Every structure is written in C-alpha cells, then in structure tokens.
Structure 1
C-alpha cells in the first residue's frame, strides 16, 4: 500500500484530500502545514508520494519540492494548485513534480494522479 504525505496550509484541504486518499485505498502517513514541515516529514518517513500545495507560508511548495528532490531525486511529488497558478505549475513540473491536481479536488482525478504516479 502506497504511503502518502499530504502538504497544505489549510486544515480543511488536508482533511478533504486525506478522505479522498484513504477512500481510494492508500495510506496517509503524515500531514504538513507548510513546505518546511513537508521536508522534515519526508526525511523521517520517506513516503511513496507527496501531495504539495503551491502557496504556503514558511516555505512554498516549489521550494519544498526542490529540497525534497535534493534529498531524494526519485521522490514523487504531485502539486496541488488553485486555478490561475499555471505558471507555477509549469515551474514545478520542470523542477521534477510528477503531476498536478487542481482545487477544488475531483475525487476521480486525485485517484488517477496517485495511481499514475506510483505505478
């Protein structure tokens, strides 16, 4: 079973994503409220996949993506973005993100993105 780390500064978004992920049959091994926490939890738990919000305090998703890729070049990160963040999404993909999902989350799309990323 794939172990997933959820990163979002909004508790409601983390909960929404967690429910979708668990319902899809995956395990959530941690939740981070910002990029800095995500990097620390990645180092500790080495999840199979990270969902990463782009806009967060402390350290944004792009910076956290770069740090995680620095720790583990094979790390799989799916970016989560609101509409209108296309340029940041392109930046994230160029820096190694495997996919992106748009908020508000579509259950089917989230499940497909995770399955594609870990296969």
Structure 2
C-alpha cells in the first residue's frame, strides 16, 4: 500500500484518480490543483508516488516535477497529459518522471503505471 499525492487542476480528474487508487488499496495523502500546491504538499506529506498533470495554472507539472526532484531525487512521479503533449512528456521523462498516463484515463493503464512505478 502506498501513499499517493494527486495533482490536477480539474476536480473531476482528481476524483477519477482517487477512485482508481482506492480500488488498489492505496491512500490519497493529498490533492493539489496547481504546481505550487504540489511542491508544498510533497514537502509536508512525503508521498510514495505523485500522479501529476502537466498543464496547470500558476506552476506547470514540469516546473513542479523539477522542484520535487531537486528536493528528493528518488521521488516517484507519474505525469498525466492530454493527447498532443508528446514534447512535454519527453521533457518530463528527461527530468525524471517514471511514467506517463494519457487523458482521458483508462483505469487499467492507470493501474499498470502505478504498479510498475511502485513495484
């Protein structure tokens, strides 16, 4: 069982991910709607895994990923992106993201990514 931080500016997406995590018996330790909150919540909750949207207001998922990796080089982050964001996904992987999931989410793909990264 892992502690997971969910980061997405869309409440519906956070809810969707939260439901998948509960099915897998993981605990959602926090939810953030932008990159600034993500970095703060990462510091305070020290999650085992972060599921993070790439496109968000205030601070993007890429910027937040960069900061989280500077704080904790072993951070496990899975990026979530809309179709057509290949360049950003490549950048995220280069910065240390462990995997990515494309929206709209396929529950099985989400589960696969989580299990692979935590496994």
- TM-score, length-scaled by structure 1: 0.98
Q: Report the alpha carbon displacement of residue 23 of structure 1 after superposing the two structures with TM.
A: 1.1
How far apart are the structure 1 equivalents of 2:115 and 2:25?
A: 10
Deviation string, structure 1 residues 59-117 (Cα, Å, up to 9, x no partner):
00000000000110000000000000011000000000000000011111101100110
Q: Report the alpha carbon displacement of residue 24 of structure 1 after superposing the two structures with TM.
A: 1.7
SS state at 1:105 partner: coil
> Over the residues paired in the alignment, what is the CA RMSD in angstroms?
0.5
Aligned to 1:2: 2
SS state at 1:28 partner: strand
1:61-76 alignment, distance < 5 Å: 61-76=61-76
Q: Is residue 17 of structure 2 the alignment partner of residue 41 of structure 1?
A: no
Gaps of at least 5 residues in structure 2 are none
- TM-score, length-scaled by structure 2: 0.98
Gaps of at least 5 residues in structure 1 are none
Deviation string, structure 1 residues 7-60 (Cα, Å, up to 9, x no partner):
000001100111111112211110000000000000001000000100000100
How far apart are the structure 2 equivalents of 1:113 and 1:2?
A: 13
Aligned to 1:56: 56
Which of structure 1's runs of 4+ aligned residues deviate more than 2 A? none
